[in-house]
Amino acid sequence: MTDQQSEFDFDVKGQPAAKPKKRTGLNILLAIFFVILTGAIIYLLTELSSERKDAAEMKVTLELQKDNLTRELNELNLSFNKLRGDNDVMNQRLDQEKQKIHDLLAIKASNAKKIQIYEKEVTSLRSVLKSYIIQVDSLNQANLRLRAENKDVKDRFNEAKNINKELEDVNKNLQGKVEMAAVLKALSIVAEPIDNNGTIQKKIKKVQKIRVCFNLGENAVAKKGPRQIYMQISNPSQRIMVKSGTETFSREGTLVPYSAMREVEYEGSSLEVCIFYETTPEEIVPGTYYIDLYLEGAQIGTTSFSLK
């Protein structure tokens, strides 16, 4: 060793001097750095663990929010279904809102931003549902009023119909009574076999005519003007005596033969009428002859006479 080395490495007592002091300081610095580094690592690990925990909690929270929103969307869908009715315009609007719900349910929301959009749409759908509930309730109230009004109108219509039916029945009854009152009757009918001079004959060989006289009664409500009176004479064989087969009139919708007819001018007052039927010798036989009188199809009287 040189004298210079000895001066730096050993002191007077022969012990190491300046060099050992430098190493101790370095070691202290390294220890402090290691402690700080270790603390920083522990801090970072702690923060990372906390962030992971927060992220996991956030994920759970988002899933819960999504599940809640999904459940609420399904409930909204059911609510919109319950609002469907007979109004086509309202049903079309409800279908549009239901399509929005369907589209939202198809979204795979996985972050807070999408969940926020999700919530905003659900809030909007809630508002729409409330407005539709009010509209549907208003429509239902209007329908109830209309039904009540329709029922009232129907009741009034049925009441009027019943009154009309009663009036028709009364009218028919009155009309029937008027028609009955308007029917003319042949009164005091007398049927006689006579000769051409008008003398009543009892002998068959001298009978040349049959004369039927009667009184057409007074009737203020009977039809005025020309009236046709038909006479049927049935011989003892119950055959109607006719001049030919062409003389007929309508009785109850059927054409029937008549023996003689006379048209009279009736003015509502009592009217004496006689109708004559000219006979032939071969027509007159012993027995009873029946006479029926008809006024335009309605029987107004009947009588008979006999010859021996």
Domain spans of the chain?
1-182, 186-307
Determine the pLDDT at residue 58. 60
Three-state SS for 66?
helix
Distance between start and end Cα atoms, the chain: 207
For 13-111, where are the alpha helices, taking DSSP H only? 18-82, 88-105
Determine the pLDDT at residue 22. 63
pLDDT in tens, 279-293: 998 899 999 999 999
Write down the CATH number for the domain with range 186-307.
Answer: 2.60.40.10
Determine the pLDDT at residue 175. 53
Determine the pLDDT at residue 59. 61
17: Cβ–Cβ under 8 A, 6 or more apart, which residues? Answer: 8, 9, 10, 11
Is the CA virtual torsion 51, 52, 56, 59 positive or negative?
A: positive
Written as six digits, the tokens of 215 are 């009184």
Nearest to 121 by CA among 73, 74, 62: 73
Determine the pLDDT at residue 6. 43
> Which residue numbers in the chain have pLDDT < 70?
1-22, 50-51, 53-66, 69, 107-114, 170-182
Three-state SS for 252?
coil
Determine the pLDDT at residue 181. 47
Determine the pLDDT at residue 75. 81
Nearest to 217 by CA among 160, 277, 289, 293: 293
Written as six digits, the tokens of 17 are 């001097």
From residue 9, alpha-carbon distances to 1, 5, 22, 144 in Å are 10, 6, 13, 116
Determine the pLDDT at residue 198. 93
Determine the pLDDT at residue 171. 62
Determine the pLDDT at residue 56. 62
Query: How do beta strands 186-194 and 248-251 pair?
Result: unpaired
Task: Tell me if 291 sits within 8 A of 245, measured CB to CB.
Answer: no
